[in-house]
Structure 1
Amino acid sequence: MPHEIAPDDVVRTHAEGEGNDRPPLLVIEPLLSFLDEHGLGAGEPTISPIGDGHSNATYLFERGGARFVLRRPPRPPIPPSANDMLREARVLRGLEGRARVPRVLAVNDDASVIGAPFYVMELVEGFVVTTAMPAVLDTPEERRRTAHDLIDAMVEVHGVDWRAAGLEGFGKPDGYLERQLRRFLGLWDHNKTREIPAVEVVGAWLKQNLPTSPPATVVHGDYRLGNVLLEPAAPARIAAILDWEMSTIGDPLADLGYFCTLYVERDDPSLGKFELSKVTRGEGWPTRAELVARYEERSGRSMSDIRWYRTLALWKSIVFMEGNFKRASAGMSDDPYLKSFGDGVVGLAERAEALTRGE
């Protein structure tokens, strides 16, 4: 078939994948029947992977003149409550017309089709930016405009009436921060492969300095430059916000704190393997303080506790990454990228402890 991905990612039938230590991510014959039922192209598809492949598997399908994107979880084992495609599809449908999200075209909750639930969404044309801006947007003015629109798009998400969007029960609006701390303290006890005192110190500081949350909103959970699409022409504008697998209803400042944690300025020390968008070190990108002020002005929310939220975001990332390192070291993941997290986790923990001291 005319696919462009690794042979063991695709089989024609489930029977062909039986006995394989690496179960296929796509099973073509039942998948084509599903696509036919939903009017998504015709005939044999050309399939291309999208993204880095460290989390959910995302594929571009080109089929009979139709172009669309399929999202499914990675190969098992999958951590509990992670990589939930049905949940992701639900929030996208709720936000359609209310925030900048791709339109969901079809959802499958029957794991027997390809081995896991999945959904299909429209293809939004645009640029994903991590290390360099596209030439058409590579000026100080357009970089600044990009950063400003990142904040404006976040404010739009946090301004959605989530009850009117059909997201009642999608998350628990009360006690979000308390649950985050309980959950990640428990996860650290489960994930840790060694004693890292700084992680314990930061967790205690977060508990002792817990702020009062503003009214609950939709929370993306992984809001950063690398998870948006930029329009393919100037002026710079966010075309769509992607990767909603961590979304919930909760404290909106958790999104801003996370965004600030991963947004690096020109003279910031390196985040190493965790520095996901080095491009913002270039000329024209605003400072974090400028962007926090823009969020405050446009959302009407106080920024008095933003250091706490930045610390929370960094601490949560440490706990997650230690879990990934543990899984990879134990042979539960075949991703070499995850095995390289060991020393980086220790460095981030020291950075988080310094942040509690205002450094």
Structure 2
Amino acid sequence: MHSVPDGVEVVATAAEAALLASPPLLILDAVTAFLDANNLGSGPLSWAQIGDGQSNITYRIQRGSDVYVLRRGPRPPLPRSTHDMVREARIQQLLQTRGIPVPGILAVCEDESVLGVPFYVMTYLDGLVIADTIPAPLDPLEERLATSNAVVDTLVQLHRVDVSDGELAAFGRPDGYLRRQVERFSALWDINTTRSLPDVALLGSWLADNLPDSQAAAVLHGDYRPGNLMFASSAPARVSAVLDWEMAAIGDPLADLGYLTATYAEPGSASTPLELTSVSRSPGYLDRAGVIARYRAQSDLSLDALPWYQALALWKASIFCEAIYTRWLRGERPGDTRFAPTLEAGVPQLLAQARLFAGLSPEGRH
């Protein structure tokens, strides 16, 4: 935890922030005043960034013995629709009342004058997040299987939430969701790239020409993968919170399953920039077919069209990652020395994998 501002990402006062060429991410006196106004702890702040912050940015905030998590969007200018902190906080509040494991939302700040963007504060949860190493409590083979099962079962639980009425229904229009996704992301490519990758248009056309009929409407997480789940800190393996709701929507539940399985690491699968939890390549975890089978066993949806959703997931990811790569090329991600530089080759890798799910030949023929 840090207690002294670094003068770039974190500053002590709004006056210091005004002197910077690029706005900071945290202004300590502003955050302190907001916490005071919401009766959240007392005393000076210490902080530490959580995660890599590819899009929205999360901080662990401590005041004395009280610990919170502050989540905010990236520096402007960016499309507001993809970084709507108020919406992100609200959907978690609604899901918590429906039994979905999510962090408790303690306060939401819509006033952009505080940090330059809206943000919210939530409870700090002490648990395990699985990425490249297996936490010791979840390492035995039976816990590895239980971990995989919990990943699938929590997604099934989310997709069973009733979205037919009430405030949740207002979070999206499920009718036409898939077509809007294809059209929206097709339009984003040209404004987010500096290079020509013909597979983007090829896949976009294939997706538009082969739209499946959505069988149901559900809450979609939008980035559902093992690395966005927190597990309880002791066995048995169980999900204590689903994290990172910035992409949440109401739409076709198979979009989540397609993303989970398309990005899922299994023995022998090709590596992509989205392989953020590599441990599932290890013995004991479900493979991709096992994940699909466990979901199928708990759902009455036909999964015949799942390859379409898997292709959609990687095609969308390629466009999102290309935007990150282009921002890095323009010098807008100066601290990124690990992720963005890999995307020169990583985006074509995503597109190649998407083509495989789509059943498109190397030459681009159906």
Quote the residue 1:351 is aligned against.
353
Quote the residue 2:126 is aligned against.
125
Structure 1 stretches of at least 4 aligned residues deviating more than 6 Å after TM superposition: none
Letter in 2 for 1:175: G
Kindly state the Cα deviation for residue 190 of structure 1 after the two structures are TM-superposed.
2.3
Q: Does 1:88 align with 2:67?
A: no
Contact 1:222 1:258 survives alignment (8 Å): yes
Kindly state the Cα deviation for residue 4 of structure 1 after the two structures are TM-superposed.
6.7
Q: How does 1:307-326 map to 2 (within 5 A)?
A: 307-326=307-326
Distance of aligned partners of 1:2 and 1:256 in 2 relative to their CA distance in 1, 3 Å threshold: closer
Q: How does 1:121-270 map to 2 (within 5 A)?
A: 121-163=122-164, 166-270=167-271
Contact 2:5 2:12 survives alignment (8 Å): no
Contact 2:222 2:245 survives alignment (8 Å): yes
Letter in 1 for 2:303: M
Quote the residue 1:8 is aligned against.
8
Contact 1:111 1:117 survives alignment (8 Å): yes
Structure 2 SS opposite 1:127: coil
Contact 2:280 2:287 survives alignment (8 Å): no
Kindly state the Cα deviation for residue 161 of structure 1 after the two structures are TM-superposed.
1.6
Contact 1:193 1:322 survives alignment (8 Å): no
Q: Tell me whether 9-18 or 192-201 shows the greater mean CA deviation.
A: 192-201
Kindly state the Cα deviation for residue 352 of structure 1 after the two structures are TM-superposed.
1.5
Q: Does 1:101 align with 2:98?
A: no
Distance of aligned partners of 1:348 and 1:238 in 2 relative to their CA distance in 1, 3 Å threshold: same
Contact 2:2 2:48 survives alignment (8 Å): no
Quote the residue 2:31 is aligned against.
31
Given the two structures, how large is their TM-score scaled by the length of structure 1? 0.95
Kindly state the Cα deviation for residue 165 of structure 1 after the two structures are TM-superposed.
5.7
Q: Deviations over 1:98-120 (max 9, x none)?
A: 21111100101001112211101
Question: 1:105 & 1:4 partners in 2: Cα distance?
Answer: 25
Quote the residue 1:304 is aligned against.
304
Q: Deviations over 1:246-275 (max 9, x none)?
A: 00111111000000011111111222x332
Question: 1:61 & 1:330 partners in 2: Cα distance?
Answer: 31
Q: Does 1:112 align with 2:113?
A: yes
Contact 1:58 1:70 survives alignment (8 Å): yes
Kindly state the Cα deviation for residue 13 of structure 1 after the two structures are TM-superposed.
1.7
Letter in 2 for 1:344: G
Kindly state the Cα deviation for residue 174 of structure 1 after the two structures are TM-superposed.
0.8
Give the gaps of 5 or more residues in structure 1. Answer: none
Q: Percentage identity across aligned positions? A: 45
Q: Deviations over 1:200-238 (max 9, x none)?
A: 222222122110002211110000011010110000011
Q: Tell me whether 48-57 or 303-312 shows the greater mean CA deviation.
A: 48-57
Q: Tell me whether 215-224 or 76-85 shows the greater mean CA deviation.
A: 76-85
* Aligned-residue CA RMSD (Å): 1.8
Structure 1 SS opposite 2:41: coil
Q: Deviations over 1:77-98 (max 9, x none)?
A: 3234222111110111110132
Contact 1:104 1:121 survives alignment (8 Å): yes
Kindly state the Cα deviation for residue 313 of structure 1 after the two structures are TM-superposed.
0.3
Aligned length: 358
Kindly state the Cα deviation for residue 2 of structure 1 after the two structures are TM-superposed.
5.4
Question: 2:360 & 2:300 partners in 1: Cα distance?
Answer: 24
Q: Tell me whether 244-253 or 93-102 shows the greater mean CA deviation.
A: 93-102
Contact 1:4 1:47 survives alignment (8 Å): no
Structure 2 SS opposite 1:167: helix
Given the two structures, how large is their TM-score scaled by the length of structure 2? 0.93
Question: 1:345 & 1:4 partners in 2: Cα distance?
Answer: 38
Kindly state the Cα deviation for residue 57 of structure 1 after the two structures are TM-superposed.
1.4
